[in-house]
Amino acid sequence: MKNVERNKSNGTDRRSFLKTGAVGAGAAALGATLLPSTMAALDYDSDSGPAITKGDIAILTFLSALEQVEADLWIQYAELGGATNQGLSPIDLELNGRRIETGLAPNYITALLALDGDMPQYIADNTDDEISHHRFLNNFLAAVGGEPIDLGPFAVLPPSRVTGVPQNHRLTNLQQLTVDTSWWTRYRSAAANPDLGGSFENAVPDLARGQHPAIPRSDADLTLNSDGTPTNHLQAIANTAGFHFAFIEQGGTSLYPTLAQKVTNLTVLRVLLSIGASEVMHFQTWQDKAGNAPNISDGNLSFPNLNNGVDPNNGRSGSSIADLFQTNLIMPEPTIFLDRKFGPVSIIRPTSTAQSGAVAAVASFEQDGLFRDPATGRSTGIVDVLMRLAEKADAAARRL
């Protein structure tokens, strides 16, 4: 939350940028409060309810920006670890009409396969999905009177130096991550809900401290053992990626239903519910695969055995500990929701603005190290822009 407060204090600078900078048109065009003629002209749905509001546009704009961030990081994963051959169906990943080369680091793929034999395919598919989300939201914004958003000017971070990786700069840094894995215990807890003040332990405590690569930084990271198996160092990079995949997608799992509660127009609501559901599918897939991460150590990073009934944070044991960490317990455990008097229920968690709104999403991405500039150790200017868009999205209110 210190990051949130710091960004709020820079509001004047953000406003100045948004009026004059690369995303100024999109942010400044939040225009009139209501845009009734736009939806009528589109005629997507004769029963779309109230007209699109300024708040609806703010939510769509923020989500499009965040999906561009996600597309950027998933493209990096796909370039290095994505499938190169999926049988009779060709790999058709592309961005702005340009084909994305995948699977450039075969040894990295070997390490990813230890988590699941379909990891490269799922990486390619997830990448395709996030690119489509950003493209669709931009197209929809243009159709309903908003402005498409492009964070391209903030692509200033160096990519992996593995042979073959395009050396264009990126929005995100996957080489110095601090990964919060508390999503693991949050979804397994039967007694706590973050929206009601619950707190949760990390499944991999070491990932939540320090800075760790989730992609090979150069060819030097791709060494195999003499028997062709990944070194512990390379396997640790793949394991980090596996837990990071779920970290990213659990954010979208909560963000879309949180912002959907603020939407006025029914077609916009349909957009959020439909895209949000695909984020849930991503998260469910990745938390299952993360549980297969081999129990190895690499320097100060260890991946514990989560099936031995021992809390990796404090060494406690027992049946309640097993419930929190066992790897095949991937269905959301029923827990408290709204009020304890209603009894436990299986839900997406969190779904409150304070815990999973737009500002919270940006703060979690920054704390993850996604925007860390290796030259300065600080986040790039994209954070201030995303925070300004997030504040507008969180301020939206349903109008009936």
- Does the structure show a pLDDT above 90 at 31? no
Helix (H, G, I), strand (E, B) or coil at 89: strand
- φ, ψ of residue 89 in degrees (nearest 5): -90, 120
* 323/172 Cα distance (integer angstroms): 34
Q: Looking at residues 197-207, what average pLDDT do you find?
A: 97
- CA separation for the pair 362, 371 (Å, rounded): 10
**What is the gyration radius of the CA atoms in the chain, in angstroms?**
21
**pLDDT computed for residue 47 by the predictor:** 63
SS3 per-residue string spanning 221-253:
HHCECCCCCECHHHHHHHHHHHHHHHHHHHHHH
Range of the domain at 252: 2-395
Other C-beta atoms within 10 Å of 87: how many?
7
Taking residues 169-184, report their average pLDDT: 98
Residue 400 lies in a domain: no
The string of pLDDT tens digits covering residues 158-170 is 999 999 999 999 9
d(CA 104, CA 108): 9
pLDDT bin (cut points 50, 70, 90) of residue 121 is: very high
SS (H, E, C) 186-228: HCCCCCCCHHHCCCCCCCCHHHHCCCECCCCCCHHHHCECCCC
User: What are the structure tokens assigned to 313, written together?
Assistant: 């944070």
Mean pLDDT on 33-45:
41
Cα separation, 63 vs 268, in Å, equals 12
Q: Does 109 fall in a domain? A: yes
Q: Please, what is the Cα angle at 132 between 127 and 136, to 5 degrees?
A: 160
Residue 164 is assigned to a structural domain of this protein:
yes
- Give how many domains the chain has, as a whole number: 1
CB 380 within 8 A of CB 156: yes
Mean pLDDT score of the chain: 90
Q: Write the pLDDT tens digit of every residue in 325-383.
A: 999 999 999 999 999 999 999 999 999 999 999 999 999 999 999 999 999 999 999 99
Please give the helix or strand (H or E) that residue 81 lies within, else none.
Answer: helix 54-81
What are the φ/ψ torsions at residue 155 (nearest 5 degrees)?
A: -80, 85
**In 3-state terms, what secondary structure has residue 98?**
strand
Question: Which three-class secondary structure state does DSSP give residue 342?
Answer: helix
Answer whether 0.85 is exceeded by the pTM: yes
Q: Is the pLDDT of residue 291 over 80?
A: yes
* pLDDT score of 54 more than 90: yes
How many CB atoms are located within 10 Å of the residue 10 CB? 15
Q: How far apart are CA 330 and CA 284, in angstroms?
A: 7
| pLDDT tens figures, 67-112 | 999 999 999 999 999 999 888 888 889 999 999 999 999 999 999 9
